[in-house]
Amino acid sequence: MTDAQWNQLLAVTAGERLRPPLGFIIDSPWLPNWFGISILDYFTSDTLWFEANRQAIESFPEVTFLPGFWSEFGMCTEPSAFGCKCRFPENEFPFAEKVIQDLGEIDQLAEPDPGTDGLLPFTLKRLKIARPRIEALGHQIRFSVSRGPLNLATFLLGTTEFMLALKTDRGRVHKLLRLITDFLKRWHQLQRETLPSIGGMFVLDDIVGFLGAEDFQEFGLPYLKDLYATELAVKFFHNDARCEKSLPGYSEIGINLYNPGVFNTLAELRALSKNRLALLGNIPPRDVLAQGTPAEVRAAVTRLLAETTDHSRLILSCAGGMPPGVSTENLRAFVEAVQSAERRGG
């Protein structure tokens, strides 16, 4: 992310009135195949990882790509530190198998060291090695990144097992979430210490969207609030599952930038959040951005801009992250639709 893009992001989250910028979350589900390589190539080659990210920023200079040069191993990044068996097919998404077979095992679970355990040292070392080349392009690493406490808990325990445990063994669920949150706090701190240019935090946790309001208040809000308890300027959150039960609590957590799913209109999202959050969205990612025609992408952008005359606290994007299969032509159509609206004064 360039200095100009970072300053624009600060202005958007502060609620300053300006023409909404364009931004997309990009990572391994989209970037490798768009660049013409396999997902495993992307994970295993520092050179190919760097060149894929470089080509994206140079192909679309009008777009802020978030978090920017994301060093990751898909959903295996944090679970690997807990000893999960990680599967890496050549060109499919990696998967971490659960490591807790019985709730009683939570009592013996040890907190990993983010500096030495699993794939985390490789994740951070890639950024350290690439940092001079990233900065030579005029970009900086701006975000520490992780999956959220609930998301990580479902990988360790299994999603169905975790959801059942919320009702059958609440004490052990709290114990697990406390341990995971402490681990994630150390992981974000290590990223900040290693890369002083970091000024934001990015956390992804779709599992909050599976909870009712009471369960979110008990199991989601306190741990996310603890995780986000930093002085960082941008506190970015992704949950593209349903958000009606959790979104009203995001500002209390400290979140000031939110990437939602497709379930709500821009007006509904603003009402639920009392317009306290900047929003990154919100055209349909798969059905329009990936599978639609360029004309359909342009029409979706036009509809999004027409939803409200207040374009503050808005970054034009798709709901969720960039999905697999989005073509250069469709991304260019998105950019051109925004530029056309600006010329018309929209």
Below-70 pLDDT ranges, the chain: 345-346
Q: How far apart are CA 109 and CA 165, in angstroms?
A: 16
> In this predicted model, what pLDDT tens digit does every residue of 132-187 receive, in sequence order?
999 999 999 999 999 999 999 999 999 999 999 999 999 999 999 999 999 999 99
Write down the pLDDT at residue 346: 54
pTM: 0.97
Q: What is the residue-wise DSSP string for 103-156?
A: GGGGGGPPPP-TTTSTTHHHHHHHHHHHHHHHHHTT----EEEEE-HHHHHHHH
3-343: CATH topology: TIM Barrel (3.20.20)
Closest CA to 206 of 254, 269, 163: 163
**Count of beta carbons in the 10 Å neighbourhood of residue 14:** 12
In this predicted structure, what is the pLDDT of residue 329? 98
